């Protein structure tokens, strides 16, 4: 009997010690992770605060028509640059500011109602992106934030691989239907010998 009691006590102590060890191994001081969509939320906020922001394809818009719930809705901008709304069918959105689009919808609705009040909110910015390709650890698309530079985009793309040519980096940009190649010497920029390059929507940074 004594042996059973001692054995039971030993097992209980072992379990208690293991539990304390497991709790002690948890890092309770670690800060919570930031949501993955922080950059997207920042981009959306900037779009709504910038009166000159031009709507692009794949952006998501919330159209509010006061006291008209059947017309008010959240819609994506189609690849042809238009959105679909009741009564108006297809409405051109790409290339307009939210205020200009609201005025266009308001004018169209005047045929069906008196003095419609329309607001347009950018719910998601999907049209403004830049891309980093080549010898980086995290290649791919990134949201284009206001004032974003090539150096910042490269920082977001992680570290360079051992094969990266830091002096041979370049930016591909399409303007007026033509593609241009802008050299970007990473080492010169970091040293301050060459100015950083502010990015535009659709730019592609190539790290050879």
Q: Are 108 and 133 within one domain?
A: no
- Last residue within a domain, chosen from 124, 151, 186: 124
Does 2 fall in a domain?
no
Rounded to two decimals, what is the model's pTM?
Answer: 0.65
- List the beta strands (DSSP E) in 1-156: 60-65, 73-76, 82-85, 89-92, 118-124, 129-134, 140-143
At residue 144, what are phi and psi to the nearest 5 degrees? Answer: -85, 110
Residue 54 CA to residue 99 CA, distance in Å, equals 10
Number of domains in the chain: 2
Q: What is the pLDDT along the chain (208 residues), one digit of tens a residue?
A: 444 444 444 444 444 444 434 444 444 444 444 444 677 788 888 889 989 999 999 999 999 999 999 999 999 999 999 999 999 999 999 999 999 999 999 999 999 999 999 999 999 999 999 999 999 999 999 989 888 999 999 999 999 999 999 999 999 998 888 999 999 999 999 999 999 999 999 999 999 9
The CATH number of whichever domain residue 147 belongs to comes to 3.10.560.10
**Domain boundary at 84, 107, 124, which?**
124
Whether 24 is in a domain gets the answer: no
Domain containing 97 equals 38-124
With respect to residue 31, please indicate whether it lies within any of the assigned structural domains. no
H-helix or E-strand spanning residue 167: none
Separation of alpha carbons 137 and 25, rounded Å = 31
Exposed, middle or buried, 23 (CB in 10 Å: 0-12/13-18/19+)?
exposed
Regarding whether 137 and 164 lie in a shared domain, the answer is: yes
> Is 43 in the same domain as 80?
yes
In a domain, 109, yes or no: yes
Same structural domain for residues 148 and 119?
A: no
Domain end marker among 81, 109, 124 = 124
For residues 129 and 41, what is the distance between their CA atoms, to the nearest angstrom? 14
Whether residue 118 is found in the same domain as residue 133 = no
CA atoms of 118 and 109, how far apart (whole Å): 9
Domain co-membership, 75 together with 105: yes
């Amino acid at each position: 009997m004594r042996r059973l009691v001692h054995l039971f006590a030993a097992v209980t102590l072992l379990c208690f010690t293991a539990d304390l060890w497991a709790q002690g191994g948890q890092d309770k001081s670690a800060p919570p992770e930031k949501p993955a969509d922080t950059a997207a939320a920042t981009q959306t906020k900037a779009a709504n605060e910038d009166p000159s922001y031009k709507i692009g394809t794949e952006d998501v818009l919330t159209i509010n028509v006061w006291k008209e719930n059947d017309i008010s809705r959240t819609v994506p901008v189609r690849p042809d640059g238009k959105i679909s709304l009741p009564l108006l069918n297809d409405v051109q959105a790409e290339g307009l500011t939210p205020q200009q689009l609201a005025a266009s919808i308001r004018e169209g609705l005047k045929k069906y109602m008196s003095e419609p009040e329309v607001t347009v909110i950018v719910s998601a910015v999907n049209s403004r992106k830049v891309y980093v390709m080549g010898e980086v650890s995290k290649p791919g698309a990134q949201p284009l934030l206001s004032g974003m530079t090539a150096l910042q985009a490269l920082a977001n793309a992680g570290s360079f691989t051992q094969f990266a040519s830091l002096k041979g980096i370049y930016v591909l940009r399409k303007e007026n239907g033509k593609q241009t190649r802008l050299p970007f010497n990473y080492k010169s920029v970091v040293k301050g010998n060459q100015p950083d390059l502010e990015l535009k929507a659709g730019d592609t940074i190539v790290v050879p």
